[in-house]
Amino acid sequence: MVSHSGLITVMTRAARKAAPRLRRDFGEVEHLQVSRKGPGDFVSMADKRAEESIVEELRTARPDWGLLLEEGGEIAGNPDKPRWVVDPLDGTSNFLHGIPHFSISIAVMEKRPDGREEPSSALVYQPLTDETFWAEKGRGAWLHDRRLRVSSRRDLADTVIGTGIPHLGRSDPARWSSIYAAVAPEVAGIRRFGSAALDLAWVAAGRMDGFWEDDLALWDTAAGVLLVKEAGGFVTDYRGSDRAFERGEYVAAAGSIHSKLQKLVAGAVR
């Protein structure tokens, strides 16, 4: 049995507490109350209920920590302490259409000496498959008790790459099309699954060899980025620098693939 910190225990407990209700709501998706949050961006009562349940658990464990929530916004805490970043339902559109691919994402963000934040603990949980991807800085990435490693493929021609496709109100279709046109002829396949948190977890697990997407919020990616890094991969922005969180741009892949994918992406957006 792999030992992990009390924080991972807290995060796992919070995700598992919210999961049964999400599974029930998913089974009755046609009866959910749904309100429009913005162009092409829906939020369900399931989102809100899951977030309330997760926040209650996290605040009980660490009452003085702040939170950044997809639905509830920012809740201030002690500025000298870490903060939680929570997406209670990453893949809401999938959920609302009965597509069984979504996740709960929870990360702990800590300040670095230069004042920037970085994730130190991470959990991505798939309620329908009961898969718990977790990572702690310096301690590796795991799927339950199995150590994760990014893909060992070296040639782009052998890779499957994940992405997010622009839609109503999100990202720039022309920019994405330029990147797609550069990447597609070089790889074995491109996949769009609809949950960035799970996409990154799957890169960490070697199920996909790489991933790119922009116009993503911190709650979409904080946990997944740590998973990829702790599984031996690299995550940068489109320019190849470490400003992915600030710029909302992500290129994630195994080391042997990352530089090749990043150069394709950068060349397409110049």
Token readout for 248 is 């909302």
Annotated binding site: 70, 87, 89-90, 220
Give the residue from 215, 231, 222, 176 showing the smallest Cα distance to 197: 222
Angle, helices 173-183 vs 255-269, to 10°: value is 130
Annotated binding site for Mg(2+): 70, 87, 89-90, 220
Count CB-CB contacts under 10 A for residue 110: 13
Separation between Cα atoms, residue 228 and residue 135, nearest integer Å: 9
User: Positive or negative, the Cα torsion across 243, 66, 211, 203?
Assistant: positive
